[in-house]
């Protein structure tokens, strides 16, 4: 139902929003080490199908530091970021700030449907005000932080970067464990258990 607006963003995706996934190691003096290149994700189903656990493999490669990390996110924290405040920039030279103004109805990012609102069956039914707001506010202000606010695994100064992740939930006599299967793309596999 996202077919763009009537006069703006015609045949363009208008419900697109983005939020930053943070995977970083807290550092001394408040300087964090960020793993900011997303390599792969794995969605692990939970007892609540609306709230799976998301595993992400991140990397960073710079002239100073090279490494990989695995961060775990809850769907609730992702949902909270997209339901939170928007980021706003007055001009190309301005810094991003939290948008404090009025948010139009329907809220940007909402996929139109008769179930949601009989007056908004497609994005062409959105007012010019809504479409204009969507065009200028596609970034969310709050980032998505990982569970525990840090990676569950880091691998640094290695010749290969982690590229893939698959997670198994294994039942044992003493409880359930999540086992990560991590690939580098060089026919290497790393396993980490007991999460």
Instruction: Tell me, yes or no, whether 30 lies in a domain.
Output: yes
Instruction: Tell me, yes or no, whether 6 lies in a domain.
Output: no
Instruction: Tell me, yes or no, whether 165 lies in a domain.
Output: no
Number of other residues whose CB lies within 10 A of the CB of residue 188: 12
Domain housing 29: 24-157
Sign of CA dihedral 112, 113, 114, 117: negative
Per DSSP, helices labelled H in 120-195 are 128-136
pLDDT in tens, 108-161: 888 777 666 667 777 777 888 888 888 889 999 999 999 999 999 999 888 788
- How far apart CA 16 and CA 110 sit, in angstroms, is 9
pLDDT in tens, 59-98: 986 777 789 999 999 999 999 999 999 999 988 899 999 9
In the numeric block, which tokens belong to residue 130?
């809504």
Instruction: Tell me, yes or no, whether 12 lies in a domain.
Output: no
Instruction: Tell me, yes or no, whether 95 lies in a domain.
Output: yes
Instruction: Tell me, yes or no, whether 54 lies in a domain.
Output: yes
Q: What pLDDT does residue 131 have? A: 83
Instruction: Tell me, yes or no, whether 138 lies in a domain.
Output: yes
Sign of CA dihedral 118, 138, 4, 54: negative
Residue 88 bridge partners (DSSP): 97
Number of domains the chain is built from: 1
Average pLDDT in the chain? 86
Instruction: Tell me, yes or no, whether 11 lies in a domain.
Output: no
Q: What pLDDT does residue 152 have? A: 95
The average pLDDT across 163-178 equals 90
Residues 6+ apart with CB under 8 A from 6: 124, 128, 131
């Amino acid at each position: 139902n996202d077919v763009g607006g009537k006069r703006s963003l015609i045949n363009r995706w208008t419900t697109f929003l983005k939020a930053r996934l943070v995977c970083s190691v807290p550092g001394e003096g408040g300087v964090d080490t960020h793993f900011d290149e997303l390599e792969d994700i794995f969605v692990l189903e939970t007892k609540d199908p609306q709230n799976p656990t998301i595993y992400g493999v991140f990397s960073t490669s710079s002239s100073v530091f090279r490494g990989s990390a695995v961060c775990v996110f809850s769907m609730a924290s992702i949902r909270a970021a997209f339901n939170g405040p928007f980021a706003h920039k007055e001009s190309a030279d301005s810094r991003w700030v939290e948008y404090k103004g009025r948010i139009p109805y329907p809220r940007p990012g909402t996929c139109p449907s008769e179930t949601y609102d009989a007056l908004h069956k497609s994005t062409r039914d959105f007012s010019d005000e809504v479409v204009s707001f969507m065009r200028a506010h596609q970034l969310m202000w709050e980032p998505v932080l990982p569970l525990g606010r840090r990676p569950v695994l880091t691998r640094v100064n290695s010749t290969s970067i982690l590229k893939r992740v698959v997670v198994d939930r294994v039942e044992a006599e003493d409880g359930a464990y999540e086992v990560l299967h991590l690939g580098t793309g060089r026919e290497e596999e790393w396993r980490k258990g007991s999460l």
